[in-house]
Chain A
Amino acid sequence: MSGVAALADAKASEVLASFARQRLMQTIGAELTTHAPGRCAITLPFNEAVGQQGVFHSGVVLAVAHTAGRYAALTLLPLGSEALTLQYRINMMRPAAGYRILAEGMVLRPGQSVCMTRVDVFVEHAGQRTLCAALQQNILRVPGPKEVS
């Protein structure tokens, strides 16, 4: 995601602080690695708790993908807003067999109230990155009590 404009400091701080409160992401060991306007990337190294017979469990693949899309949307929302998921559809293309997964989320349409995002999930194995799942998601913008713009 090089060459993408950086987030304003206040928005970047809000995004990182919000991610740090996501207990599910902490529980599985996911890390937010990139945040830029309309984009977000999250990685998760393999560990036994998130695996199913040596492959990332699809629920974990979905969790990371969903969160990447949601935070991609959050980067474009006014400060103080919340992003709630209305619906998503995920296609699992191949088993996520590797030492790490990477979910890259981007906003397709930043609507006034509903934001559409797309997330590609890659699995890394033997130095190669392979697309293993794709998610499309609708996010509802909820104005927060602290919204300032």
Chain B
Amino acid sequence: MTETQWNLASIRSHVATHLPLAALLGIEVVAAEPSRARLRLVGNAGIGRPGGAVAGPVLYAMADFTTYALTLALRQEDTAAPSNMLINFFGPALELPLLCEAVTLRAGRRLITYDVRIWPEAADAGRLVAQATATWAIARGGVRS
């Protein structure tokens, strides 16, 4: 348990300091509130598949980072861990930047389930390249009452 106040600025700082994968993939946090979080993928040379599409695991990483940021903002806790994720791919992600937004479906005491959607920034939010349902588990004793 930490005493850090988790807001957009502190989450961005935390990601920059402790999550080098974000910089490796070209991910930045653009919004983190208790109700929603949004990430932007600008990408880099190491994230593509042959053919030019962003690799599926990179989309997963976006969903993972987004739900992590939302968990921090929602619970003010850094003891949570992802427990499962189901992700559907609707088409190749050929355009960058990509946006990823997560909203809470249900926030239980120990488990939080999120809906996550990913789409190209240049397109309408209805044109999804992927959608995920993610569940995060709060570590025992890690919930502030």
Interface residue? A76 (CB, 8 A): no
B53 and chain A: residue at smallest CB distance: A84
B21 touches A59 (CB 8 A): yes
Known contacts A59-B64, A62-B60, A63-B57: A26-B46 contact under CB 8 Å:
yes
Closest chain B residue, CB of each to CB of A52: B19
Q: Is the interface of B mostly helix, strand, loop or mixed?
A: mixed
Is A21 interfacial (CB-CB < 8 Å)?
A: yes
Q: Which of A13-58 contact B (CB under 8 A)?
A: 18, 21-24, 26-28, 48-53, 57-58
Q: When the two chains form their complex, are residues B86 and A24 in contact, meaning their CB atoms are under 8 A apart?
A: no
A24 touching B55, Cβ below 8 Å: yes
Contact call B84/A92, Cβ cutoff below 8 A = yes
CA distance A92 to B60 in the complex (A): 13
CB of A62 within 8 A of CB of B21, answer no
Provide the bound-state CA to CA distance between A91 and B89, in Å. Answer: 18
Return A53 CB to nearest CB of chain B, in Å.
6
* Number of A interface residues in the complex (CB < 8 A): 32
Are A63 and B61 in contact, CB atoms less than 8 angstroms apart? yes
> In the complex, which range does the number of interface residues on chain B fall in?
20 to 34
Residues of A near B57 (CB, < 8 A) are 24, 59, 62-63, 66-67
A7 beta carbon closer than 8 Å to chain B: no
Any chain A CB within 8 A of the CB of B83?
A: yes
Give CA–CA (A6, B96) in the complex, Å.
40
| Bound CA span A59–B87, Å | 13
Cβ contacts under 8 Å, A95 to chain B: 81
Taking CB atoms and an 8 Å cut-off, the chain B residues in 70-115 that contact chain A are 81-89
Q: Contacts A49-B20, A60-B21, A63-B61 known; A23 to B46 CB distance under 8 Å?
A: yes
B89 touches A86 (CB 8 A): yes
A26 vs B45: C-alpha distance in the bound complex, in angstroms?
A: 11
